[in-house]
């Protein structure tokens, strides 16, 4: 009777080809497969397999000294096989890669080993808010009831797919995004333009500008984008002065000491309130 058996030790190392400390689709994991013959005799036809590496979308191979299958592995002998795996976006989103390799031969039962490689995730995005004043009256000046159209551009600047990105602005509602708000999914390097409209009130006209901040939130993390829209204002006063002679002597003629009463009609022709109006 002979004791026949193989031992398999699988090790994975993430290769940060981008040299930025984060995993992204297209980078790789290098695997080593240490196969040891624990038998007292040589075994033949030792095959090392790992479907993660050899099946689509990678369709790579596992290389062993002398070939795979290993033609013969002597008693107590060990070899190191190698393989490489290309990360997919799903791997990066998951933050890890789990897989199992198998070593088998013509004379022994199969043996397996699992490996989990953790992937550092870069989760990041920006929101850029841009407002354009709409001069519906066509007079070149801002008035109550006219509007500002906002574009809120949300861009995924990280390497992980974002999900359920909520775009909010406490002073502008509703905010409409393609596919809905929250944005269901936003792939790395992708961007979405959301839109909203704000109607001017007198306080905006008086201030001469409209400032506010929008927020994009995903997974409890947020980013803000602010914009200051300058509102053109027409400022001006009209003064109408009227004088009336008072014939205190009641003789139809002016005399020294009689008076003229004046009225000064001051009108604010602006779309905004004006302060400290002095009449001299």
User: At 233, is the pLDDT very low, low, confident or very high (cuts 50, 70, 90)?
Assistant: confident
Q: If you average pLDDT over residues 196-209, what whole number do you get? A: 94
What is the reported pLDDT for 57? 73
Over range 181-192, report the average pLDDT. 97
pLDDT at site 272:
66
Q: What is the pTM of this model?
A: 0.78
Rounded to whole angstroms, how far apart are CA atoms 210 and 189?
Answer: 30
| Cα–Cα distance for residue pair 60/63, rounded to 1 Å | 10
Taking phi first (over 0 means left), then psi (-120 to 50 degrees means alpha), and beta for anything else, what does residue 189 get? Answer: left
Q: What distance in Å separates the CA atoms of residue 173 and residue 192, rounded to the nearest whole number? A: 17
Alpha-carbon distance values, 152 to 134, 168, 254, 267 (Å): 17, 10, 72, 40
What are the tens digits of pLDDT across the range 50-80? 999 988 777 789 999 999 999 999 999 999 9
Q: Report whether 162 contacts 223 (CB < 8 A).
A: no
pLDDT tens for 147-177 read: 999 999 999 999 999 999 999 999 999 999 9
Residue 3 has a pLDDT of 53
Specify whether the CB–CB gap between 60 and 84 falls below 8 A: yes
CA dihedral (250, 252, 254, 256) positive or negative: negative
Q: What is the pLDDT of residue 276?
A: 83
């Amino acid at each position: 009777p002979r004791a026949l058996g193989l031992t398999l030790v699988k090790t994975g190392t993430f290769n940060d080809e981008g040299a930025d400390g984060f995993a992204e689709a297209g980078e790789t994991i290098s695997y080593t497969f240490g196969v040891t013959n624990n038998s007292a005799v040589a075994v033949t036809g030792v095959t090392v397999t790992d479907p993660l590496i050899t099946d689509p979308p990678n369709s790579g191979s596992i290389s062993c000294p002398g070939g795979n299958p290993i033609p013969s592995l002597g008693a107590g002998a060990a070899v190191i096989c190698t393989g490489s795996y290309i990360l997919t976006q799903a791997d990066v989103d998951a933050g890890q890669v789990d897989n199992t390799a198998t070593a088998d031969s013509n004379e022994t039962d199969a043996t397996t080993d699992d490996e989990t490689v953790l992937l550092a995730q870069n989760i990041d995005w920006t929101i850029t808010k841009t407002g354009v004043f709409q001069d519906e009256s066509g007079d070149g000046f801002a008035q109550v009831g006219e509007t500002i159209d906002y574009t809120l551009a949300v861009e995924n600047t990280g390497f992980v797919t974002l999900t359920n990105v909520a775009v909010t602005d406490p002073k502008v509602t509703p905010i409409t995004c393609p596919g809905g708000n929250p944005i269901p999914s936003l792939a790395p390097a992708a961007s979405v333009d959301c839109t909203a409209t704000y109607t001017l009130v007198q306080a905006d006209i008086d201030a001469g500008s409209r400032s506010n901040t929008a927020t994009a939130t995903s997974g409890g993390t947020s980013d803000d984008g602010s914009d200051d829209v300058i509102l053109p204002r027409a400022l001006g006063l009209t003064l109408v002065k009227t004088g009336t002679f008072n014939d205190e002597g009641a003789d139809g003629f002016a005399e020294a000491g009689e008076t003229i009463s004046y009225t000064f009609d001051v009108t604010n022709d602006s779309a905004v309130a004006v302060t400290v109006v002095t009449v001299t």
